[in-house]
């Protein structure tokens, strides 16, 4: 029996490959079970097909702009084949369980042009990834080990184009393996932006080509707790193969204590009783050398990280050290800022944004920068991290009214933990429930799950992140009306979590129960 | 240079081996760093000795009752040697880093008698374990890989004899490997009781020889989610080698939903509108068959689990089903209990305690049993799990006034999580801070950390348990006055946590920072 999945072309993107209507096959009884996040439409029938690992293959359609040799797709086919047929690839496959001669041919059409050698970006279509994704989630095994899939129509596209996860590699160092594992799990939940909060106060693990002292003096250890250029390339490449962008953050002028160890005169010396106290504050905005250094650093960063965005931070700047420093105060006078230090911060951030603009990068900054002033270029993306729904809704209104694009992170600070099923909190967020026009709502380009590192390193990252982050993933991908009920979502998420465990992701349980295959990684 | 540690005999125990005064050697600058829990006295000098893995050995003293061939000690020596010299045993040892001809001979004196072939019990001395334990914690490497230890005098004994950890294998199944790993980590923190809450409402994973249907029908899966007799033996043997008792809990009459699947007529049929509703309540206390079944089951359990304690549960019995059942009500009348269902529960528990008494086992029960009636045998141990400090102090007073021995678990419900350094809560408990005489306080035999399984399985057990449980471990082992300050304890616990990570225990971080060797198990 030959089955061909039909694929038609898409409508509103410049895609790497269109896959708007995808006929796949799925278990009728298990409709949508374990499919996470929920597609925009999924219609499954009870008509089921036997899949034979021996006869199954992914193929390129004749009209496809991408053909064999397209690294991203070739690698994805191989990866997904192993995930779809785990017994077969692990050698546990029993030939006797597969006497059926059915054959599935899955064709991928790539219209317009191929992006096989590029990096995922803002306008990447995510449709081609979906075909393998859904097959992965829909194939099931019966009790005899045979693989089946039910006839299923899926029509899908993401609700938001920016679906990110932040990892913080400064408060604790995360070995590269932990980052790669997170990228694997991100792809399973259709996250497409890895926001790498790579440096901060406690440590500077990024090994800069231009300023090697930043890590040799600012990392927890200059050899074992750093990311070399090759480590960074490995992360970016692993992400690219999974349709994930890597958005680096070099947060300043606050959160820079570790920078000061390897770069003299960068931080502001704090004063006490008229003399330097020996402690240091934020980056010194009053020295020309600061901007020279930042321009050089960002020039390197803009080459090392191919994504069109660079995150500039700009959050939580403590003014007390600036206030204490007579040279900074003199600079304030000279610039006509009076005693308004928000103007000094704004001045600093404008200079940094100008540096990245000159490098043809889009800046993304934490909300503080918008709160302090509105002279920020219109193409800057704002990142909301503070407060309760009431306060982030107000911020969303204000920012989008000013015509700015916004990423919402505030409701998804997933490092905060509490007892019980707190995934409900991440699931029931309504990102567009603020007062504003339709045009304003379109400016909300997505959301981000933040895993700050105060209490997290490689020992507990994965179970703390998954499947809790998956709740946010569905909110950012799926139709809100179809996914408004946590009780309906619960068994599907529980099933999805078992699939993560089966794929080697140490995802924690949601509640009492079990998986067919429990985690054995101990 | 030859160094001999001198060991004198103990005073107030019937020990497997006495080690009251142990001269070990420790880094002066690092006094007590990473030594956890804190010994009763530890005096270290700056005099340090070079340890050569090639020349180091554990030996039995001539007067020792235990000699080579003592399985527990021989195995411990081997295990600890590998932990003390990780580079050497992993083959990463560099001969050039060890040109010193120093020699350490460590003698173990075992006075009175040896317990080489027995199981740890209530009255076991824990002194012989300590010698290797401290050596493990005190040896350090310099930057060239050489091992050193500083001259150190340690005098030590545990404050409480019962220092337990509860794992719940019913709400989620824990693979045997996860239990063994927990036993390893328990030994590192000097826990000595593994309270195995093996069955409960959601599943019955214990494969009974006498009643195989209990697991074949009551486990999550009859083959993959069970503990066979051989699994249980493996757990008990692994625990024994580490000086840990295995205390099994078969909780009844509540928390028994899963029992009903494999044992007809055991649970109480609930009634609604005068007819059976199809649902079931606690074990039926009105049928003679119940007591016959329980006697047979506990006869098996008392053989399979060699410990002198059996935990009988007795908590959280919901009376509504008993109330609904006309046969139970008729039994109440016959027995003269009126409508006081606490009397029915007391009647049930007395029968169960009598069963275990006849098997020469000490019963331990949750506090509910004491709260309902006081006709409980005086040698029963009571287990406090409820409430705030005010309420558990009141309970401690009442119970010890009644002459009962008590284990305190209420302040150490470690499954409850919250954001931040919640180990402070487990550390600052003052178990004896209740009103009562010195005699009463002696009846508090120890405490227990409970990891209930609603949200915990093998994916997140270890990072959720460690090092948070270690905070409780120090409270139960060490002198309270010497360990009352969390800020003083913090760096030592942080260092100890890094040691756990180095030994392959996925212990989560306490706060911002790093370990020399980060967790690489991903």
Give A267-318 pLDDT, tens digit per residue: 999 999 999 999 999 999 999 999 999 999 999 999 999 999 999 999 999 9
Q: Looking only at Cα atoms, what is the longest distance across chain B?
A: 87
Question: What does pTM read for this prediction?
Answer: 0.92
**Tens digits of residue pLDDT in A22-33:** 333 333 334 456
The residues near B303 (Cβ < 8 Å, ≥ 6 apart) are: none
Query: B385 is written with which tokens?
Result: 């799990």
User: Omega into B150 within 30° of 0, i.e. cis?
Assistant: no
Secondary element (H or E) of residue B311: strand B309-313
* Chain A neighbors of B175, CB-CB under 8 A: 518-520, 522
Omega of the bond leading into B255 within 30 degrees of 0 (cis)? no
> B418 and A415: CB-CB below 8 Å?
no
Cβ pair B509:A457 closer than 8 A: yes
Is A224 an interface residue toward B (CB < 8 Å)?
A: yes
The reply to whether A50 touches chain B by the CB within 8 Å rule is: no
At A53, the pLDDT band (50, 70, 90 cuts) reads confident
Closest CA to B125 of B16, B286, B278: B16
Q: Which pLDDT does position B66 carry in this prediction?
A: 76
Query: How far apart, in whole angstroms, are the C-alpha atoms of residue A109 and residue A62?
Result: 8
The mean pLDDT values, 10 residues at a time, for chain B of 522 residues are 32 33 33 78 77 75 76 83 78 54 51 70 69 69 78 82 98 98 96 98 98 98 98 97 96 98 98 96 98 98 98 96 97 96 95 97 96 84 95 97 97 98 98 98 98 98 98 97 96 96 96 95 72
In this complex, the residue of A224, A417, A519 whose CB is nearest that of residue B459 is: A519
Are A19 and A7 contacting, i.e. CB atoms less than 8 angstroms apart? yes
pLDDT in the model for residue A94 = 56
Assess contact for B128 and B19: CB atoms under 8 A: yes
Cβ partners under 8 Å of residue A333, min gap 6? none
Query: How far is Cα A375 from Cα A385, in angstroms, rounded to an integer?
Result: 20
Give the pLDDT of residue A427.
98
CA distance A160 to A166: 17
Answer for the pair A366, A385: CB distance below 8 angstroms, yes or no. Answer: yes
HEC secondary structure over B262-286: HCCCCEEEEEECCEEEEEEEEECCC
How many Å apart are CA B152 and CA B144, to the nearest integer?
Answer: 23
Is A519's CB within 8 Å of B221's CB? no
Letter string b/e over residues A223-246, b meaning 16 or more CB atoms within 10 A of that residue's CB: eebbbeeebbeebbebbbbbbbbb
State how far the Cα of B356 lies from the Cα of B376, in Å rounded to an integer: 13
Three-state secondary structure call for residue B58: strand
Burial class (CB within 10 angstroms; exposed 0-12, middle 13-18, buried 19+) of A489 = buried
Does the structure show a pLDDT above 90 at A155?
Answer: no
Please answer whether residues B183 and B175 qualify as being in contact, where contact means their C-beta atoms are separated by less than 8 angstroms: no
Distance, in Å, from the CA atom of A185 to the CA atom of A506, rounded to the nearest integer, reads 10
Q: Evaluate the CA torsion angle B407, B408, B414, B415 in order and state its sign.
A: positive
Query: What region does A66 belong to: left with phi over 0, alpha with psi -120 to 50, or beta?
Result: beta
Is residue B249 flagged as an active site residue?
Answer: no
pLDDT at res. A67: 79
Rounded to a whole number of angstroms, the distance from the CA of A454 to the nearest CA of chain B is 5
Query: Which of the residues A514, A515, A516, A517 would you substitute to probe the B interface, choosing the one with the greatest number of B C-beta atoms within 10 Å?
Result: A514
CB of A221 within 8 Å of any CB in chain B?
yes
Tokens of A277: 């106290």
- DSSP letters for B154-184: EE---S-SEEEEEEETTTS---HHHHHHHHH
**Which residue would you say has higher pLDDT here, A127 or A440?**
A440
Instruction: Give the minimum alpha-carbon distance from A450 to chain B in angstroms, rounded to a whole number.
Output: 15
Q: Does A143 touch chain B (CB under 8 A)?
A: no
Instruction: Give how far Cα B354 sits from Cα of A283, B92, B376, B402, Å.
Output: 74, 58, 10, 20
Task: Say yes or no to pLDDT of A511 above 80.
Answer: yes
Among residues B101, B122, B126, B316, the one annotated as catalytic is B316
Residue A26 has a pLDDT of 30
Question: What is residue B13's predicted lDDT score, i.e. its pLDDT?
Answer: 33
> So what's the pLDDT on residue A154?
73
State the pLDDT at residue A129: 57
Angle at A58 between CA A54 and CA A61, to 5 degrees: 135
Which residues neighbour A290 within 8 Å (Cβ) at sequence distance 6 or greater? A266, A283, A284
Average pLDDT for chain A: 87
Looking at the complex, does the CB of residue B513 fall below 8 Å from at least one CB of chain A? yes
Cross-strand pairs, A154: A22, A42
Beta carbons of A369 and A314 less than 8 angstroms apart: yes
Query: Which residue from B minimizes the CA distance to A463?
Result: B460
Q: Which residues are registered as beta bridge partners of A269?
A: A280
- Among A461, A509, A510, A517, the residue to mutate for chain B (most B Cβ within 10 A): A509
Query: From B180, which residue of chain A is nearest by alpha-carbon distance?
Result: A522
pLDDT at A243 over 70: yes
| Chain B residues near residue A462 by CB distance under 8 angstroms | 459, 522
A332-362 pLDDT tens trace: 999 999 999 999 999 999 999 999 999 999 9
If DSSP codes are grouped into helix, strand and coil, which group holds residue A164? strand
Indicate whether A438 pLDDT > 90: yes
**Six token digits for residue B107:** 């003698």
Q: For residue A58, what pLDDT is reported?
A: 74
CA distances to A178, A403, A460 from A175, in Å: 5, 39, 13
Per the listing, tokens 């490995």 go with: A234
Token pair belonging to B324: 């609904």
Task: Give the pLDDT of residue B64.
Answer: 73
């Amino acid at each position: 029996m030959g089955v061909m999945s039909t694929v038609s072309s898409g409508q509103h993107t410049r895609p790497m490959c269109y896959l708007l209507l995808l006929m796949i096959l799925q278990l009728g009884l298990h409709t949508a079970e374990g499919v996470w996040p929920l597609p925009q439409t999924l219609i499954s029938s009870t008509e089921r097909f036997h899949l034979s690992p021996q006869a199954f293959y992914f193929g390129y359609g004749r009209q496809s702009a991408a053909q064999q040799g397209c690294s991203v797709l070739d690698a994805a086919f191989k990866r997904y084949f192993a995930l779809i047929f785990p017994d077969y690839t692990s050698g546990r496959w029993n030939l006797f369980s597969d006497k059926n001669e059915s054959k599935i041919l899955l064709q991928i059409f790539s219209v317009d042009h191929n992006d096989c050698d590029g990096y995922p970006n803002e306008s990447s279509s995510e449709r081609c990834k979906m075909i393998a994704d859904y097959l992965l989630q829909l194939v099931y095994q019966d009790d005899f080990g045979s693989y089946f899939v039910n006839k299923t129509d899926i029509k899908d596209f993401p609700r938001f184009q920016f679906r990110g996860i932040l990892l913080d590699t400064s408060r604790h160092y995360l070995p590269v393996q932990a980052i790669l594992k997170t990228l694997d799990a991100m792809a399973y939940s259709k996250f497409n932006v890895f926001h790498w909060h790579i440096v901060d106060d406690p440590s500077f693990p990024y090994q800069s080509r231009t300023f090697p002292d930043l890590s040799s003096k600012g990392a927890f250890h200059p050899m074992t707790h750093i990311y070399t250029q090759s480590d960074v390339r490995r992360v970016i490449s692993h992400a690219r193969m999974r349709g994930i962008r890597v958005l680096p953050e070099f947060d300043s002028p606050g959160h820079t204590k570790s920078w000061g160890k390897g770069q003299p005169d960068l931080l502001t010396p704090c004063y006490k009783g008229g003399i330097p106290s020996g402690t240091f504050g934020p980056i010194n905005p009053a020295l020309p050398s600061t901007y020279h250094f930042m321009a050089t650093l960002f020039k390197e960063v803009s080459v090392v990280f191919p994504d069109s965005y660079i995150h500039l931070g700009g959050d939580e700047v403590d003014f007390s050290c600036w206030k204490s420093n007579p040279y900074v105060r003199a600079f304030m006078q000279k610039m006509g800022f009076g005693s308004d230090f928000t103007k000094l911060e704004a001045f600093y951030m404008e200079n940094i944004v100008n540096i990245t603009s000159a490098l043809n990068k889009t800046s993304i900054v934490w909300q503080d920068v918008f709160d302090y002033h509105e002279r920020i270029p219109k193409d800057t993306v704002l990142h909301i991290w503070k407060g309760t729904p009431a306060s982030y809704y107000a911020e969303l209104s204000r920012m989008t009214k000013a015509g700015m694009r916004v990423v919402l992170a505030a409701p998804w600070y997933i490092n905060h933990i509490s007892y019980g099923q707190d995934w409900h909190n991440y699931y029931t967020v309504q990102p567009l429930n603020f007062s504003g026009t339709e045009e304003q709502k379109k400016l909300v380009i997505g959301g981000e799950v933040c895993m700050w590192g105060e209490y997290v390193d490689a020992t507990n990252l994965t179970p703390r992140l998954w499947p809790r982050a998956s709740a946010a993933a569905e909110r950012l991908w799926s139709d809100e009306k179809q996914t408004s009920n946590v009780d309906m979502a619960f068994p599907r998420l529980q099933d999805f979590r078992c699939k993560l465990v089966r794929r080697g992701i140490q995802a924690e349980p949601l509640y009492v129960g079990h998986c067919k295959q429990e985690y054995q990684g101990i």
